[in-house]
């Protein structure tokens, strides 16, 4: 097949491009960033520069529609938040299958408050979650939390990579509490147009999932933990498959009830007695892609979902592959966690970098260029480097 992917800056896009190429398909990339991983990969036939979807969505969709027609694309696979702009223009992209749900479904899943409401309506246990739409609501919430000695997590309803999450501070005795909650100033810009959520802090084990779903049926699935991540609450950088039947069952029940189709990832906290609490949802590709080897069937699930549904099979990682983002994983040596440097070193030796391949070395060098340009953009716009990496594709509820 001819496959067009978007979001070529993401490591998962590079991973999927290599899997598609290994399966004999032709891969094209459409990306608004000047420099990105798929631009220089030997797995990609050709890369096309697009207008930034966040700043020029109409021109972005026009170019994608043109590429679909000219390249005789069979399947278009969005991989990052540009999916929200693509979903709004589905009626203008003709002649191929687009791996995307409708905008309304994606928006409800992406919103960190509405997703929890949806899960609760479907009968799942959820953490207490409150929407905060003004400085006054923020003050009332944090004052109440401090008065009761409760631990809460605060985050914008639209955010990514946990870049703005405010976690409870550690106090004596190993307990978690919001010490100094009354001094937590309301975040700049909080309003009904840019609300935050306060979410009950739940102590337990983090479990992340990635799934491919077709008409409510899970046809590919992976679960993984968060042993090593960027900062205390950032994105995972080390990926090892977890055999977790309860997570698969949760995703299957939710997907059937929601009638979802596409790629979707969930973040859970599993408490000691085994209950899974959903924390947030990413209705797009997530790092679970890195767990799949060529023989694990992910490509077939993405390109021929109907066959997988009829067969009643779920593709899962069977190779025992362990993957990592090598550069941020090296930085984790500064904060190796409770297991210490010895365990970090063993994990580093056992895992394969998701960027570097001997037969495809150029993306490894390209990532240094990507970071350099992100740093320049961050300084120019006075934002974080993490925000600079997604500034032109992120979606924050715009209509």
Distance of alpha carbon 92 from alpha carbon 107, whole angstroms: 20
Within 237-318, strands assigned E span 238-240, 262-270, 276-282
Q: Has residue 170 got a pLDDT over 70?
A: no
Residue whose tokens read 């030796």: 349
- The CATH number of the domain holding residue 180 is 3.30.1490
- The CATH number of the domain holding residue 5 is 3.40.50.720
Is 144 in the same domain as 85? no
Could you list the residue range(s) of the whole structural domain that residue 176 is in?
128-200
Which residue, of 200, 230, 248, is where some domain finishes?
200
Residue 294 maps to a domain: yes
The whole-number pLDDT of residue 319 equals 84
Question: How many independent structural domains does the chain possess?
Answer: 3
Minimum mean pLDDT among 43-57, 224-238, 374-388: which range?
224-238
Is 366 in the same domain as 346? no
Residue 256 maps to a domain: yes
- The CATH number of the domain holding residue 243 is 3.30.470.20
Nearest to 77 by CA among 250, 299, 256, 394: 299
Residue 111 maps to a domain: no
Distance of alpha carbon 263 from alpha carbon 350, whole angstroms: 28
Distance of alpha carbon 353 from alpha carbon 369, whole angstroms: 18
Residue 112 maps to a domain: no
Give per-residue pLDDT as tens, 214-246. Answer: 999 999 999 999 889 887 667 889 999 999 999
3-state secondary structure of 216: coil
Say which residue, 318 or 63, is predicted with more confidence: 63
3-state secondary structure of 368: helix
Is 148 in the same domain as 228? no
Residue 231 maps to a domain: yes
b or e along 91-113 (b: 16 or more beta carbons within 10 Å of the residue's beta carbon)? Answer: eebeebebbbbebebbbbbbbbb
Spell out the SS3 assignment of 106-150. HHHHHCCCHHHHHHHHCCCCCCCEEEECCHHHHHHHHHHHHHHCC
Is 330 in the same domain as 249? yes
3-state secondary structure of 257: helix
Q: Has residue 302 got a pLDDT over 90?
A: yes
Confidence of residue 278 (pLDDT cuts 50, 70, 90): very high
256 close to 216: Cβ distance less than 8 angstroms: yes
The whole-number pLDDT of residue 335 equals 83
Mean pLDDT of 244-270: 97
* Helix 114-121, helix 103-110: angle, nearest 10: 100
Is 385 in the same domain as 298? no
Is 278 in the same domain as 216? yes
Residue 110 maps to a domain: no
Which residue, of 149, 176, 200, is where some domain finishes?
200
Q: Has residue 180 got a pLDDT over 50?
A: no
Retrieve residue 142's tokens. 């944090």
The whole-number pLDDT of residue 35 equals 95
Give per-residue pLDDT as tens, 10-29. Answer: 999 999 999 999 999 999 99
Distance of alpha carbon 301 from alpha carbon 220, whole angstroms: 6
Q: Has residue 172 got a pLDDT over 60?
A: no
Is 256 in the same domain as 345? yes
Residue 335 maps to a domain: yes
The whole-number pLDDT of residue 65 equals 98
Is 25 in the same domain as 56? yes
Q: Has residue 80 got a pLDDT over 50?
A: yes
The whole-number pLDDT of residue 181 equals 46
Minimum mean pLDDT among 111-120, 174-183, 185-194, 271-280: which range?
174-183
Q: Has residue 177 got a pLDDT over 70?
A: no
Say which residue, 99 or 181, is predicted with more confidence: 99
Confidence of residue 178 (pLDDT cuts 50, 70, 90): very low
Give just the sign of the alpha carbon dihedral 104, 106, 110, 115.
Answer: positive
Residue 221 maps to a domain: yes
Q: What is the DSSP letter of 339?
A: T
Which residue, of 168, 183, 200, is where some domain finishes?
200
Mean pLDDT of 352-378: 95
% residues pLDDT > 90 (the chain): 85
Give per-residue pLDDT as tens, 318-355. Answer: 888 899 999 999 999 988 887 899 999 999 999 999 99
The whole-number pLDDT of residue 342 equals 92
Is 331 in the same domain as 212? yes
Mean pLDDT of the chain: 93
Is 209 in the same domain as 348? yes
Is 67 in the same domain as 167? no
Say which residue, 321 or 266, is predicted with more confidence: 266
Is 214 in the same domain as 346? yes
């Amino acid at each position: 097949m001819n496959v067009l992917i978007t979001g070529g800056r993401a490591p998962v896009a590079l991973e999927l491009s290599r899997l598609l190429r290994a399966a004999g398909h032709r891969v094209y990339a459409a990306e608004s960033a000047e420099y990105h991983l798929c631009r220089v990969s030997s797995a990609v036939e050709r890369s096309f520069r697009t207008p930034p979807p966040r700043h020029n969505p109409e021109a972005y969709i026009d170019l994608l529609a043109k590429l679909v027609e000219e390249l005789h694309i069979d399947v278009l696979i969005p991989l990052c938040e540009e999916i929200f702009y693509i979903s709004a223009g589905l009626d203008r992209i003709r002649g191929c299958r687009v791996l995307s749900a409708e905008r309304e479904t994606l928006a409800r899943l992406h919103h960190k408050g509405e997703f929890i409401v949806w899960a609760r309506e479907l009968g799942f246990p959820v953490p207490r979650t409150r929407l905060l739409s003004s400085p006054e609501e923020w003050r009332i919430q944090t004052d109440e939390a401090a008065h009761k000695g409760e631990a809460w997590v605060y985050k914008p309803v639209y955010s990514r990579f946990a870049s703005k999450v405010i976690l409870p501070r550690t106090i004596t005795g190993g307990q978690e509490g919001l010490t100094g909650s009354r001094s937590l100033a309301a975040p700049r810009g909080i309003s009904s147009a840019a609300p935050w959520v306060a979410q009950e802090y739940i102590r337990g084990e983090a479990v992340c999932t990635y799934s491919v779903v077709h008409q409510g049926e899970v046809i590919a699935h992976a679960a993984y933990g968060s042993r090593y991540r960027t900062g205390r609450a950032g994105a995972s950088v080390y990926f090892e498959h977890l055999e977790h039947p309860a997570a698969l069952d949760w995703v299957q029940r939710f997907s059937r009830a929601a009638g979802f189709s596409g790629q979707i990832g969930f973040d859970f906290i599993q408490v000691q007695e085994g209950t899974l609490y959903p924390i947030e949802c990413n209705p797009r590709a997530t790092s679970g892609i890195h767990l799949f080897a060529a023989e694990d069937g992910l490509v077939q699930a993405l390109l021929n979902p109907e066959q997988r549904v009829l067969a009643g099979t779920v593709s899962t990682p069977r190779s025992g592959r362990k993957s990592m983002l090598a550069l941020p994983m090296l930085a984790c040596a500064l904060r190796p966690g409770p297991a210490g440097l010895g365990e970090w070193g063993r994990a580093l030796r056992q895992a394969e970098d998701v960027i570097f391949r001997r037969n495809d070395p150029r993306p490894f060098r390209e990532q240094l260029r990507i970071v350099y340009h992100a740093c320049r953009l961050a300084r120019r716009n006075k934002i974080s480097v993490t925000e600079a990496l997604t500034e032109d594709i992120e979606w924050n509820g715009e209509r």
